[in-house]
A and B are shown apart, each in its own frame.
Chain A
Amino acid sequence: MATVLIVDDSPVDRRVVGGLLAKSPTLDIEYASDGEEALVRMEEVRPNLVVTDLIMPNMDGLELVAAVVKNYPLVPVILMTGKGSEQIAVDALKAGASSYVPKSVLQDLLLDTVENLLSMAHEEQTLGRMMDCMTGCRFSIDNDVTMIPALINYLRRFIRQAKLCDETGGIRTCVALEEALNNALYHGNLELDSHLREGDRAAYRAMVEERRHAAPYKTRKIHVAVHLEKDHGAFVIRDEGPGFDPRVLPDPTDPTNLEKPSGRGLLLMRTFMDDVAYNEAGNQVTLIKRRNNSDNGWQQ
């Protein structure tokens, strides 16, 4: 059974809407007379979906949409709109309402709309629970620069979902991962030295493009593996280049090196992760983020 909360200040309209939804044997119907009462009822009955009128005393439909989106992001809200309130319906959708149904066609559309949204919400909630069970993921990406921000955005969501660390810790982790991925692409697979960027920058970019399409560089890939363990997350990034010796990098914080482009990526990786280790060949780096650091909110 799914619970639907109907919010309307008119007792007559509440009964009409309740009667339409009661045709479905799988729905439990609950009621509230305005937005404020609806939020109280939501705490009590935890509805799967909200159907609300637009104009109500105390807290109107738009304010209720904003409150539900903020506090119950997985609960869809359907707005019932009167004639002439199309623009408000658009505003409600922008504010996060899932759908709206004009009052003039409630009888024809409301039940179908409710059932469709409940089905979609169920899928999303199931997906969320499944993500909780993930223990890792793997990627093999080409030397495509646009894939790196896309992968970082995915990993940021993955880290959040996995509760590896809090939001700030997730951002710090992404800074480190982005550095490792850029190193794998430019220095690893394309074998481009940082010093080249100190000279003609246009020539450097041309060389990037040239190597992306030339052998042996063009067939190389970047391999990313994420392993979630009880006490940490491990991010393993491997390129198919010849590797390098991280010990030969200059200290980028030495005043004489501040304006040089070498070594800053590794410095940020070491600053924002708990452990950073290269393999012997220097073409694979393992970055560890522990769960029990001060910047994460994860508690077991």
Chain B
Amino acid sequence: MSKPKYFTVEQADGIVIFSSIGSIGGLVEDAVRTEWDALLKQVDAMDAKHAVIDLGSLDYFGSIMLELLVVLWKRVSAKGGKLALCNVSPVGLEVLYTAKFDTLWPIVPDREQALEAVSN
């Protein structure tokens, strides 16, 4: 896989952590979907049950990001795992609450709390 442009992935204690990178305005829909699917293949090979998504570098996002979250969520839930989001911008929070995604996963201020949320 070529160098990630939108997200990096790391693993710690059975938790896979996706971190948005760069100061991305609009996400290029095809490119971000392609990269996300490639990252998910990497994640499938990891020994991780839970996932944390750190959206700290995104000042906003829309339905593309929501769709990617659902794709990841389906994989995580199939393993009986948990998912949490952190470092979400104010407009990003509005997007998540509007879509009622706060009913699906915890959305917490920082990564430490997100790791705690999926570990407990």
Candidates A145, A171, A261; contact of B30 at CB < 8 Å: A145
CB of B67 within 8 Å of the partner chain: yes
CB of A39 within 8 Å of the partner chain: no
- Write the residues of chain B forming the contact surface with A, with a CB cutoff of 8 angstroms: 25-31, 33-34, 37, 59-64, 66-67, 70-71, 73-74, 90-91, 94-95, 98-101, 103-104
Shortest C-beta distance, B66 to chain A (Å), equals 6
Would you list the 4 A-B pairs with minimal beta carbon distance, nearest first? A149-B26, A264-B63, A152-B26, A253-B100
Per-residue B-contact encoding for A32-68, CB less than 8 Å = 1, 0 else: 0000000000000000000000000000000000000
Least CB separation from A148: chain B residue:
B26
A259 with B26: CB separation less than 8 A: no
13 A-B residue pairs with CB within 8 Å: A145-B31, A172-B94, A175-B62, A178-B26, A197-B67, A255-B100, A258-B103, A261-B67, A264-B62, A264-B63, A265-B62, A268-B63, A271-B98
The majority secondary structure among interface residues of chain B is helix
Whole-angstrom distance between the alpha carbons of A172 and B62 in the complex?
A: 10
B91 with A172: CB separation less than 8 A: yes
Least CB separation from A156: chain B residue:
B25
Least CB separation from B61: chain A residue:
A175
Whole-angstrom distance between the alpha carbons of A237 and B61 in the complex?
A: 20
The majority secondary structure among interface residues of chain A is helix
Least CB separation from B74: chain A residue:
A259
Shortest C-beta distance, B94 to chain A (Å), equals 7
B28 with A261: CB separation less than 8 A: no
Whole-angstrom distance between the alpha carbons of A32 and B77 in the complex?
A: 66
Shortest C-beta distance, A239 to chain B (Å), equals 15
Per-residue B-contact encoding for A169-194, CB less than 8 Å = 1, 0 else: 00110110011001000100000000
Least CB separation from A257: chain B residue:
B100
Chain B residues whose C-beta falls within 8 Å of the C-beta of A253 in the assembled complex: 98-100
Least CB separation from B67: chain A residue:
A261
A175 with B60: CB separation less than 8 A: yes
A149 with B34: CB separation less than 8 A: no
Chain A residues whose C-beta falls within 8 Å of the C-beta of B66 in the assembled complex: 264
Whole-angstrom distance between the alpha carbons of A6 and B29 in the complex?
A: 50
Whole-angstrom distance between the alpha carbons of A153 and B63 in the complex?
A: 18
CB of A168 within 8 Å of the partner chain: yes
